[in-house]
Structure 1
């Protein structure tokens, strides 16, 4: 099992952060264009809710499309929500999105636990490119959120 942990502070209030991050339509905005992110679910609602299914296509390597289906398993507005992969490129994917109010803004925390298929080959792939690509995606998100909401000072 591998894990990633990112935190970011933004100069917005908790409700603004929740409304943006819990809106499925905003996923494309905070995903690098080279991922070819395309939401394919049609009835995903305005905001995330427990039991919600979101499907999309991503093209993480060589433009090869992969179908991905996640379920929003837990929601506690405006503190956190959890998405878990139901099918897709990972053997296991569990992503916690946490928000908390801080002085002059909000702190966001992403905690991801994941496992690749294929045993030791998956571990080699993680070392060679998967972990780096995930890091790039989260760094892109952090920069995009600063672009959208400003830098926390």
Structure 2
């Protein structure tokens, strides 16, 4: 199975405490996800719920062609105000391992996302990644960067 790695870095003009508070709340993910994905957290969490290792988060999402699907991730690692990792337990990918790193820098916070993923179906999955999936992931993270900039301006 072929795996892919992608990396994004973004400066956010807020304190590390503020960044951690926002990104460690599962419900805030929908605020920075494109509306056309119809992303909804279905886990019974509130705005005050913060991530912890072992946390299971369930979603409904329409990543391609408007087809609604269930997705489940587990927060596997958390180091307070440093990083957390979410891994898919059920969903569209053969592998989804997403690291979120945070570092205090002058004037704000440096956020780094590292995503390792794989598409099922061998050669067909590799073709789907080349034609569609890689581009869609880039669009999602480009949207996220703009949404974060707008949210924290």
Corresponding position of 1:51 = 54
Superposition map of 1:59-138 within 5 A:
59-138=62-141
Question: Following TM superposition, by how much is the alpha carbon of 1:62 offset from its aligned partner in structure 2, in angstroms?
Answer: 1.6
The CA RMSD over aligned residues, in Å, is 1.0
Question: Following TM superposition, by how much is the alpha carbon of 1:43 offset from its aligned partner in structure 2, in angstroms?
Answer: 4.3
| 1:50 partner SS | coil
Q: Normalising by structure 2, report the TM-score.
A: 0.95
| 2:30 partner SS | coil
Deviations 1:44-65 (A, max 9, x none): 7611110000000110112111
Question: Following TM superposition, by how much is the alpha carbon of 1:66 offset from its aligned partner in structure 2, in angstroms?
Answer: 1.1
Pairing 1:9–2:11 present: yes
Corresponding position of 1:146 = 149
| 1:3 partner SS | strand
Corresponding position of 1:24 = 26
The runs of 5 or more residues in structure 1 that have no matched partner are none
Question: Following TM superposition, by how much is the alpha carbon of 1:70 offset from its aligned partner in structure 2, in angstroms?
Answer: 0.1
The runs of 5 or more residues in structure 2 that have no matched partner are none
Inter-partner Cα distance in structure 2 for 1:147 and 1:38 = 21
| 2:63 partner SS | coil
Q: Where do 4+ consecutive residues of structure 1 move more than 3 Å?
A: none
Inter-partner Cα distance in structure 2 for 1:25 and 1:38 = 8
| 2:44 partner SS | coil
Contact 2:27/2:45 (CA < 8 Å) preserved in 1? no
